[in-house]
């Protein structure tokens, strides 16, 4: 297992520099460097007399093992794979730079605007793509990548008839094959299914790879065709929605041989409770097999199928997704083995106050743990169990102060799992509504997720509407706007006006609290 993950945009010279730095540190006898040698070099720490001659290849071995490789040659082979499949979401014209494609390449600009790139996604770009296509309806006629992004089967058929090899050829602006442009396109949420599926069939029949994909900034989890179809991710469904025909298109790709063990697709969709993607992937063998062509390319850098499902279980039990837990258990995921933090799934669910998840696990023969003291109080607060909280506090006058001291960010935990009653109860008990994790408050995250009810409870508790996070220096309203959570933006505008004593103008949205 790697001690540290490979950085984004890894390259051989960067890693050689790390090895040279480590070599110098070992020769100087620096304790931290010697500890790294002790952990990762099979011969252990060299004797003091031998440190002056500590060789470069020994430092390279340690660097490779820290990143999870058996040795430097295996690390170099991985970098060869990264070089081949790396794609970066650069704009067509970098700030102050030279255009990456000819200035007249309207088709490439159309593709860039139409498709997710996990950098500057959002409705503004897709609207720009629609405008380009309306002004230049001919731009797809001679460009198979634009034709695929627009889901125009007639144009794709004409192009493939003259050159069937185009089905597998990479093209601008992202260096993707046409099937990727089709699956990552968000051109029109109202587009009918048939042209999308017809375009996919044409490309697959001509030899397009249903497992095509790329390594975003060289990171080791591939963004595949399926990843694009299922959509979503850390920036939320407003900026990175699933394809409007995600299930039908995914079914077609899976039937054509796409491997269901798609780590990035699973990660991107795990944040919400909807499981339609998991149901479909299980139908085609999720959790079985060797991990497909990408794992064969990436080796230990790609998680095996069982590990992918364990990560899904870990998120589900921590966030109260009882239906997902049921689904995973029906497909044989181990419910007794410890998770990454050393606790078992039922221990995590109980500590988070997810009674339904605990009940589901009990149905599979896993007994619920007995919680006491602060742990019992925190679980009761998170579950919104007012009577249980009152009973616990009546039996121990010091319990609440101990809980506040040990869990100062409890309101963030309650808000992150979408439990407004728990947010309200925690605030009444004296937990800070403006507590931060990584510089952001519970109101920032509620705004990001579009959780209006949690936001209301936080505002009632006195949460700071103008608090700026440490990383982006944005207010909760800024976060809601960036995530295209229009209802949250409207609500926060009204509440900010109410607190300042100003009266909203006639055009202001009226959202009662």
Q: CA–CA separation, 341 vs 323, rounded Å?
A: 23
Correct CATH for 106-259 of 1.25.40, 1.10.287, 3.30.310, 3.40.50: 1.25.40
SS (H, E, C) 194-214: HHHHHHHHHHHHCCCCCCCEE
Distance CA 187, CA 111 (A): 9
Instruction: Give the right CATH number for 409-513 from 3.30.70.920, 1.25.40.20, 3.40.50.300, 1.10.730.10.
Output: 1.25.40.20
- pLDDT tens digits, 294-310: 999 998 889 999 999 99
- pLDDT, one tens digit per residue, over 386-408 is 999 999 999 999 999 999 999 99
- The 3-state secondary structure of 46-63 reads CCHHHHHHCCHHHHHHHH
As a whole number, mean pLDDT of residues 252-269 equals 98
Over residues 247-276, the mean pLDDT reads 97
Range from 28-32, 167-171, 396-400, 504-508 carrying the lowest mean pLDDT: 504-508
* pLDDT band of 91, cuts 50, 70, 90: low
How much is the average pLDDT of 167-189? 96
Position 90 pLDDT exceeds 70: no
Each residue of 335-353: pLDDT tens digit? 999 999 999 999 999 999 9
Q: How confident is the model at residue 431 (pLDDT cuts 50, 70, 90)?
A: very high
Q: Say whether 126 sits in a helix, a strand or coil.
A: helix
Share of the chain above pLDDT 90, in %: 86
The rounded mean pLDDT for the chain is 92
**For position 95, what pLDDT does the model report?**
39
- Average pLDDT in the 181-208 region? 98
Q: How many CA atoms lie within 13 A of 29 on its CB side?
A: 5
Strands 213-216 and 223-224: antiparallel
Which of 227-241, 394-408, 414-428, 496-510 is predicted least confidently? 496-510
* Residue-range domain boundaries for the chain: 12-87, 106-259, 307-363, 370-407, 409-513
Residues 6+ apart with CB under 8 A from 351: 343, 371, 375, 378, 379
Range 86-115 average pLDDT: 68
CATH of 307-363, one of 1.25.40.20, 3.65.10.10, 3.40.50.1100, 3.40.50.1820: 1.25.40.20
CA atoms lying within 13 Å on the CB side of residue 377: 25
Please give the full DSSP string across 380-442, using - where no structure is assigned.
Answer: HHHTT-HHHHHHHHHH-TTHHHHHHHH-TTHHHHHHHTT-HHHHHHHHHHT--TT-EETTEEH
């Amino acid at each position: 297992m790697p001690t540290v993950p490979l950085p984004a945009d890894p390259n051989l010279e960067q890693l050689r520099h790390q090895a040279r730095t480590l070599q110098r540190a070992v020769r100087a006898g620096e304790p931290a460097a010697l500890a790294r040698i002790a952990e990762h070099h099979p011969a252990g720490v060299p004797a003091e007399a031998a440190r002056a001659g500590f060789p470069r290849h020994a430092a390279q071995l340690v660097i490779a093992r820290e990143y999870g490789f058996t040795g430097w040659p295996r690390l170099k082979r991985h970098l060869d794979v990264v070089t081949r499949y790396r794609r970066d979401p650069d704009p067509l014209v970098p700030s102050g730079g030279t255009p990456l494609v000819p200035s007249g390449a309207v088709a490439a600009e159309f593709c860039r605007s139409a498709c997710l790139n996990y950098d500057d996604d959002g409705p503004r770009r897709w609207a720009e793509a629609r405008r380009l296509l309306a002004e230049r309806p001919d731009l797809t006629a001679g460009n198979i990548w634009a034709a695929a992004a627009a889901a125009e089967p007639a144009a794709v058929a004409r192009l493939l008839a003259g050159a069937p090899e185009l089905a597998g050829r990479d093209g601008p602006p992202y260096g993707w094959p046409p099937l990727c442009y089709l699956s990552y396109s968000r051109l029109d949420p109202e587009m009918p299914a048939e042209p999308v599926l017809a375009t996919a069939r044409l490309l697959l029949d001509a030899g397009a790879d249903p497992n095509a994909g790329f390594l975003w900034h060289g990171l080791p989890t591939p963004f595949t065709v399926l990843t694009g179809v299922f959509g979503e991710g850390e920036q939320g469904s407003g900026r990175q929605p699933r394809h409007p025909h995600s299930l039908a298109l995914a079914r077609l790709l899976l039937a054509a041989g796409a491997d269901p063990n798609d780590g990035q697709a699973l990660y991107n969709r795990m944040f919400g409770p909807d499981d339609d993607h998991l149901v479909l992937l299980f139908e085609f063998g999720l959790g079985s097999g060797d991990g497909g062509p990408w794992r064969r390319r990436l080796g230990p850098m790609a998680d095996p199928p069982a590990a992918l499902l364990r990560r899904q279980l870990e998120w589900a039990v921590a966030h109260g997704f009882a239906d997902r837990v049921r689904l995973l258990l029906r497909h044989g995921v181990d419910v007794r083995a410890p998770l990454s933090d050393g606790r078992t799934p039922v221990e995590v669910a109980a500590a988070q106050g997810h009674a339904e998840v605990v009940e589901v696990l009990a149905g599979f023969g896993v007994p619920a743990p007995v919680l006491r003291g602060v742990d019992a109080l925190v679980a009761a607060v998170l579950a919104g169990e007012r009577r249980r909280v009152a009973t616990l506090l009546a039996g121990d006058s010091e319990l609440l102060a101990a809980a506040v001291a040990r869990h100062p960010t409890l309101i963030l935990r309650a808000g992150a799992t979408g439990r407004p009653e728990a947010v309200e109860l925690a605030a009444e008990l004296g937990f800070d509504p403006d507590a931060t994790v990584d510089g952001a408050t519970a109101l920032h995250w509620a705004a990001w997720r579009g959780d209006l009810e949690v936001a209301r409870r936080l505002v009632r508790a006195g949460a700071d509407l103008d608090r700026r996070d440490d990383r982006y220096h944005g207010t909760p309203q800024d976060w809601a706007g960036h995530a295209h959570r229009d209802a949250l933006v409207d609500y926060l505008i009204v509440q900010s006006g109410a607190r300042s004593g100003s009266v909203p103008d006639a055009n202001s949205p009226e959202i009662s609290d």
